[in-house]
Amino acid sequence: MDHPTSGPKAAEAYERARKVIAGGVSSDARRSAGVPLFVDHAAGAELWDVDGRRFLDYVLGQGPGLLGHASPLVADAVAAQARRGVAYAAQHELEAEVAERLCAMVPCAELVRFNSVGSEAVHGAIRLARGHTGRTVIIKFEGNYHGWLDPVLYSVHPDLAAAGDARHPAAVGGSAGLPPNGAADLIVLPYNDLDALAEIFADRGDTIAAVIMEPILCNTGCITPDPEFAAGARSLTTEHGALLIFDEIITGFRVAPGGGQEVIGVTPDLATFGKAMAGGMQVSALVGRRDVMDTISNGTVAHAGTFNSHPVAMAAANAVLTELHDQADRLYPALRQTGRSLMDGLRQIAGRHGVPLLVDGPGPVFQTYITDRSEVRDYRDFAGCDRSAMARLHELLYAGGVNIVPRGLWFLSTAHTEAQVAETLDVAEAAFARL
């Protein structure tokens, strides 16, 4: 039986929130055309809303729940540390343990600095790149999201009329209130277009501080870059003395123990991590080459924060990363297989109902597109998909008790079972029949 769109307790909670919280939600990502989801509790691959409705969850906190909700491993680590102290504004041994684990797992990690959220870590990476190189220009790609702070909130999902030429897109601001000249030192390029990147380096190579990119583009579909594009970005930045930054806030530890850089076989100079590294606790990390990170070590580039290496968050990260490292051979193949089984099932169901569905991604995270395209390689391809039909599919799945990211992104956890995948596919069967 379909779930109702929202229950009376959720509606009441939303009305209460709207009186004291701007827009009724604390992040724009939680906005909804109707009443947003109000969660009462969650466990494993399931969550329950305030009206008692159960959902199979493929959002997982927008990705952090790699081990599932309320993982006993995380809960025990957090509880134990909270009893020892919550915030010190001083050093403690856990942060070195977590940093050692990061350096052991991540190809580019030689030194580490911690923050609380992904946007902070990315901001630190960009400042560090500029401080280290003495240059100002940053290259980013259409469709890539690097946080909500001013320097990078451009051309995430821009209106194509404003974005202009696909080969030389305009930098389109993502919010009112950005500085009038905020994009003066930002160049926006199409993802997966090595010729466009090479052209810019040939013209302005001595001004470019860094190229920043998602090594697997998860904020616009789930796009693995062409091998030539990723390797070419590495080669061009090295040749011209610029830095290559990978934003691994989503891909880090989710797609492999070493993140997206392990999967695509390209090692950047700097990388940022968050989400899955602490099982839902608020921690992010900036990691990179020793000589680059030493620009922070020697005080040339400032990096600070009251809650950096927060002891409780570090306890969670230590527990999660230890588990992912020690159990990698058991956890990751099973996680990929679960994801691929779900992907294959969705393809088969869509085919039976005549829905043109493209399913793409490595398995631990994947995207469903409604499109006749055989592949999606960049933001312009993504924008050409039937996003209104995808929104309708999201509504039908949600009504049936399956929670996914509205734009069609699915996150898997180690807690998802074969039975839950089968239940999900039953809901999908009914959704595609109505779509």
Active site residues: 145, 247, 275
> If residue 418 lies in a helix (H) or strand (E), which one and from where to where?
helix 418-434
Could you tell me which residues are beta bridge partners of residue 213?
246
Is the separation of the CB atoms in 163 and 157 below 8 Å? no
E strands, 22-150, are: 39-43, 46-49, 54-57, 111-115, 137-141
Is the separation of the CB atoms in 194 and 232 below 8 Å? yes
**DSSP strand pairing (365-370 vs 208-213):** unpaired
E strands, 87-136, are: 111-115
**CB neighbour list of residue 403: distance below 8 Å, 6 or more residues apart:** 37, 47, 55, 56, 57, 58, 59, 397
Is the separation of the CB atoms in 365 and 255 below 8 Å? yes
Strand order in the sheet with 365-370: 357-360, 365-370, 409-411
Alpha carbon distance 17, 10 (integer Å): 10
**Alpha carbon separation from 392 to 64, 351, 369, 376, 431 (Å, rounded):** 25, 17, 12, 20, 9
Alpha-helical segments (H) within 265-411? 290-297, 311-326, 328-352, 379-383, 387-399
The tokens describing 69, both together, are: 């909700």
Q: Is 386 exposed, middle or buried (0-12, 13-18, 19+ CB in 10 A)?
A: middle
Alpha carbon distance 405, 61 (integer Å): 10
Is the separation of the CB atoms in 50 and 40 below 8 Å? yes
Is the separation of the CB atoms in 362 and 263 below 8 Å? yes
**DSSP strand pairing (111-115 vs 284-288):** antiparallel
